Amino acid sequence: MGTRWFVGGILAAGLLSGCEPLDDGGGGGTGGVLFSRGFAFVREDDRNVFVVDDQGDPNSPQRLTSVGGAYWPSLSRDGRAVVFVQRGAAGTSLLTVPSTGGSVATLFSANDPACPRGCSNFRTPVFSPDGRSVVFVYSPGNSSQTALGRVNTDGSGFQELTPNSIIAYGAPSFMPNGGAVVAPAGTSAQQFNQVAYIPLTSGSIVYTSGLGEVTAVANRIAVSPDGTQVVLDGRGSSGGVRTYVAPLSNGRVGMVRRVTNYGSSSAQETWPMWTRSDQVGFLFVDSGGGDPGIYRTTVGIAPSNSVTLVVPSAAEPSYGPM
């Protein structure tokens, strides 16, 4: 294995953004969380949303929710808000909470009348770059496939972005200009062997197949801050999951190359994200299992064996602002 470094420090002050208060649970705090740039994530033991600032103490993350049931938190482009999925007895909902703490708000709920085919099983929401809408994965009607939908951050204007029942779609990532999203795609949610570039105003979806040594995208693909690259967690023929980057041009993904040379062949590097124009973060779980942690590494021409542990005991992370 390569070198692992651990970082810590003191928190920097953040900004507070407001939402309409949640009236059916959610357990937000009253504010006072110090956050300006860093990670949002959940912990698998209690399924609440946490944040930790880049300059903060990664061993003492700050909690934004308290009732559990939270999945896939994602920071807004300016870092002021987090959108996430809440699972409960009534199904799934999209919720938001300020990254500096405060009231949790319901954005959109399963089977809202605005969803013509019926919406359920929400997953992996992301804010648009301007913060005015959220794109997310859901199951339409009784379909076994997954689709992408968009809703405004005031809960209005739901739109199906992929109105078909042939292709399944995974966790979306916005292009920097907000004009399109990029997402894993495939014949089923268990086999994302393509990448889809989905324009949000006009134009046809562009698909890239043939991802080199990557047989499928395991969880997520994320567009770089300048829109010229993607990072993805690729599953290989051995079953291990590794972090890869690839160029992105005219909606198509080019040749993938592995970012790290770290851990055993069965290690899992998942949920990748950009933390700088030349740096990515990802979850790492070694062959022995245990709680995953968030690591960072610099993107170079060749795979690196030097990674940095930045947050222990985390799941489904997001980074911002970018």
Q: What is the dihedral of CA 40, 42, 43, 44, to 10 degrees?
A: -150
Average pLDDT over residues 274-287: 92
Average pLDDT over residues 218-245: 94
Predicted local confidence at residue 28, as pLDDT: 64
d(CA 292, CA 201): 38
Q: What tens digit of pLDDT does each residue of 14-23 get? A: 323 333 443 3
Predicted local confidence at residue 67, as pLDDT: 96
d(CA 199, CA 227): 14
How would residue 244 be classed by pLDDT, with cut points 50, 70 and 90?
Answer: very high
Closest C-alpha to 122, from 150, 93, 151: 93
Q: Is 79 left (phi over 0), alpha (psi -120 to 50) or beta?
A: left
Entry pTM: 0.90
How would residue 192 be classed by pLDDT, with cut points 50, 70 and 90?
Answer: very high
Q: What tens digit of pLDDT does each residue of 212-224 get? A: 999 999 999 999 9
Predicted local confidence at residue 287, as pLDDT: 66
More confident residue, 111 or 288: 111
Whether pLDDT at 139 is above 90: yes
More confident residue, 6 or 116: 116
* CB-based contact 243:258 (threshold 8 Å): yes
Parse the chain into domains and list their residue ranges. 212-322
Is the bond leading into 321 cis (omega within 30 degrees of zero)?
Answer: yes
Give me 106's structure tokens.
């319901």
Average pLDDT over residues 281-302: 88
d(CA 119, CA 100): 30
Q: What tens digit of pLDDT does each residue of 17-67 get? A: 333 443 344 566 557 899 999 999 999 999 999 999 999 999 999 999 999
Average pLDDT over residues 83-101: 96
How would residue 239 be classed by pLDDT, with cut points 50, 70 and 90?
Answer: confident
> What proportion of the chain, given as a percentage, has pLDDT over 90?
76
Q: Alpha-carbon torsion 202, 119, 209, 181, what sign?
A: positive
Strand partners, 184: 195
DSSP 151: E
Predicted local confidence at residue 177, as pLDDT: 97
Predicted local confidence at residue 30, as pLDDT: 59
